Amino acid sequence: MTVQHLADAASLAALVPSGARIGVTKGEQTDVPMAMALELVRRGVTDLDLVTIPTCAFPASGMMLDILVGAGCVRSVETSGVSMSELGAAPRFSAAVKAGTLKVVDATCPAVYAALQAGAKGQPFTALRGLIGSDLMAHRDDWAVVANPFEADDPVALLKAINPDVTLFHAPMADRHGNVWIGRNRDLLTLAHASDMTLVTVERIVDGDLMEDETLAPAVIPNFYVTALAEAPGACWPQQADGTTDLDAVRAYMSAARTEEGFRDWLAAHVFARPEAAE
C-alpha cells in the first residue's frame, strides 16, 4: 500500500468524516494529534465517537478531548477516564456529561486494551474475567457473560472487538516510505493494527528506510498500517518535541474553558483566528 504524503494537518483532517469512530491515545508522550483535532473543529465535524486507549488522563490529551467535546464535535466517548491529570477535571467534558449532551461509554483499561487487541487480530470478540462482579456489566449491553467451555463453574465476560474507523496521532519521525517511528509507545501500534485508517503527523521525515535499521525497526509502524502522513513540527502542542508539556498553556485553556463563554473566546483566539496550529 502506498502511503499518502500530504501537505499538512488540515489535509489529513479532511479525510475524517462526521460520524467516524476515532481512536486516540492517552497522551503520555509526544503523541497527541492536536493540530488535526483543531482542524476537525475548524471544519465543523460532528457526531464523532472517540475511543481512548485506555484514558485521556494526561494534560495534553485531556485538553484535546475537551476541546473536541466543547466544540460539539463528539457524540460519545468510550474510556476508562478523562481528566487533565494533576491539573484537575476537564471542564467542557465535565459540563457536557452533567448536561447530558455527551454519551460516556464506561470501560476499564484492560477492557479497552483487550477489545482493541481483538480488533487488531480480526476477532469478533474477546474474553476477559476481571469485569464480572463490577457494576459496569449492567451498563454495557455490548458485553455478555458466558460459561467457560473448558472449565466448569467459571464465567467469563465477552467484549465486542473495537475497530476504529480512523486513528489519529503524532509521532517523532517517519521515513519517505511511510514507516513511522513511535519509540516505546506500543499503544499506537495496537491502534494502527485495529483501525481502518491511520493518519499521522510527524516532527520530521527522514531519508532512508527505518525498517532496515535493526535498532529502530522494533519501534516502527510499517507503512502498510499507515494511510497518510504529513510533516508538521509542533503538531502535538501543548506537548513539545522533547517530551515535555507546556503546562502554562494547559492552565490558561482550563481557566478560559471553565465557562461556555470563556471557551468560545478561547476558540476564537486560538483556533478560528489563525489557520496554523494554536500557540
Instruction: Tell whether 276 is covered by a domain.
Output: no
The pLDDT, as a whole number, for residue 274 is 62
Residue 39 domain flag: yes
- Banded model confidence at residue 275, pLDDT cuts 50, 70, 90: low
Contacts of 139 (CB under 8 A, 6+ apart): 106
**Residue 108 belongs to domain with CATH number:** 3.40.1080.10
Looking at the structure, tell me whether residues 87 and 178 fall in a common domain: yes
Are 43 and 135 in the same domain?
Answer: no
87-103 pLDDT, tens per residue? 999 999 999 999 999 99
Mark whether 221 and 99 lie in a shared domain: yes
Q: Domain end: 135, 160, 185, which one?
A: 160
Asked whether the whole model's pTM tops 0.85, one would answer yes
pLDDT of residue 55: 84
Tell me the sheet residues that pair with 199: 168, 228
Domain that holds residue 265: 4-124+161-271
Are 207 and 156 within one domain?
no
- Which three cell numbers mark 22? 476515532
Same domain, 9 and 145: no
pLDDT tens per residue, range 11-20: 999 999 999 9
Domain membership of residue 221 (yes or no) is yes
Residue in 21, 73, 28, 31 with CA at minimum distance from that of residue 195:
21
Instruction: Note whether residue 112 is domain-resident.
Output: yes
Cβ(159)–Cβ(126) below 8 Å: yes
Q: Are residues 138 and 208 in the same domain?
A: no
Asked if the structure places residue 277 within a domain, the reply is no
Our count of domains for the chain comes to 2
Whether the pLDDT of residue 277 is over 60: the answer is no
